[in-house]
Amino acid sequence: QVQLVESGGGLVQPGGSLRLSCAASGNIFSINVMGWYRQAPGKERELVASITSGGITKYVDSVKGRFTISRDNAKNTVDLQMNSLKPEDTAVYYCNAGPNVIVVFTTGGPGGPYWGQGTQVTVSS
């Protein structure tokens, strides 16, 4: 089992920045890929960004150039730095972890069955 605990999120004005953090514990040796997903009201959950244990990253087109995902393998954490936030970035953001790198990078599906509790990001003036 893997436990994921998220922090960060909140309310920010358009153009502002936020940083999300996710800490993993438990059977961390099963984790090859970690990522952030988001779900807005009435929409399906979508991949925002992911990163492998080797540092290879993937971003959804809508956040490229604005968001940066980073990972500290020693601390078992993954962060998402979000800059130039837009109202359409408003959603609940979830951390995900697991072994399935191919699934993430080919379909954008989750890398494993482990999810954080979710953290709300609201971009509004």
Of 21, 16, 38, the residue nearest 90 (C-alpha): 38
CA 81/CA 71 separation, integer angstroms: 11
Report the percent of the chain where pLDDT is more than 90. Answer: 94
Mean pLDDT for the stretch of residues 97-121: 93
Q: Confirm if 77 and 34 have CB atoms less than 8 A apart.
A: no
CA 49/CA 65 separation, integer angstroms: 12
The string of pLDDT tens digits covering residues 15-50 is: 999 999 999 999 888 899 999 999 999 999 999 999
Q: Which residue has the tokens 């968001």?
A: 67
Mean pLDDT for the stretch of residues 68-72: 96
Backbone angles phi, psi at 83, to 5 degrees: -115, 165
Cα 86 to the center of its chain, rounded Å: 17
pLDDT of residue 112: 93
